[in-house]
Amino acid sequence: MKKTMMLLALVLVLGTVLTGCGKKDAKLGEIKKAGKIVMGTNAEYPPYEFHADVNGKDSIVGLDVSIAQEVAKELGLELEIKDMAFDGLLAALTSGKIDFIVAGMTPTPERMKKVDFSKIYYTAQQGIIVRADEKYNFKTMESLNGKKIGVQMGSTQEEIAQTQVTGADITSITSISDLILQLESKKVDALIVELPVAQVYVAKKPALVIADATPKDDVGGSAIAVQKNNPSLVSELDKVIDRLTTEKKIDQFFVDAAKLMEE
């Protein structure tokens, strides 16, 4: 009788553990059952994601959108895109309003406490945008000390301003376009922006340039974020990233996005 009771208890414990593990790794199954995967992004970050006129229709396009489309295609699902403030993406993911974040997001230790990440799919350097007539005032990062610095709210660049610039007066705004306006109107002295994004804006703004000052390139690259404890979904994302990297499609997506910016 004692052996029987112990065996039953062991079965119950094992069943509870397995059920718990199943719940933790249930997201991929839920997504497939729904028939769609919901991408959260902030479409203010060209060439990663931005609004463009495609065949007379306002559409969200860019490098990250192309990657998300490949994920949906691989899983045989419809892709739905939700555009929101960058600093609200993690909350939307953890609450289940979106299924994954593809938004040029860096997997920092702080973010990894809240969500899990795929492999890095793109690594870019950081750049400093300044007004053209003041370019030679910003040759080193030390020249930014005590200056008014604009960054996207909740971004890696905000962290750079806090840790690599002494005495910075930081202005954090959700929209890159609004930050550009802040710089043009002399409300800030410089912007810290990921280099590909900086290059896109500077190409269209002759009064702005990329300064010689360069942040330390130790912040990592961009990865896809998902809810915690969903290794099956992360594995699928990694497979897509590996394939796109091997086929050199991510580089092509970047070129395609740059072309859309010019139209």
> 180 — phi, psi (to 5°)?
-60, -40
Q: Sorting pLDDT into bands at 50, 70 and 90, what band is 104?
A: very high
Convert the pLDDT of each residue in 210-238 to its tens digit: 999 999 866 678 999 999 999 999 999 99
- Terminal alpha carbon distance of the chain: 79
Return the pLDDT at 154: 83
| Domain shared by 93 and 105, yes or no | yes
Domain end marker among 210, 228, 248: 210
Determine, yes or no, domain membership for 166. yes
| Domain shared by 198 and 140, yes or no | yes
| Domain shared by 153 and 204, yes or no | yes
| Structural domains of the chain, count | 2
| Domain shared by 91 and 102, yes or no | yes
| Domain shared by 30 and 101, yes or no | yes
Convert the pLDDT of each residue in 6-44 to its tens digit: 444 444 444 444 444 446 899 999 999 999 999 999 998
Q: By CB neighbour count within 10 A (0-12 exposed, 13-18 middle, 19+ buried), where does 226 fall?
A: buried
Instruction: Check: pTM over 0.85? Answer yes or no.
Output: no
| Domain shared by 110 and 138, yes or no | no
| Domain shared by 135 and 195, yes or no | yes
| Domain shared by 118 and 130, yes or no | no
Domain end marker among 210, 229, 247: 210
Closest CA to 147 of 186, 177, 180: 186
Residue 149's domain comprises: 126-210
Determine, yes or no, domain membership for 230. yes
| Domain shared by 37 and 103, yes or no | yes
Return the pLDDT at 262: 60
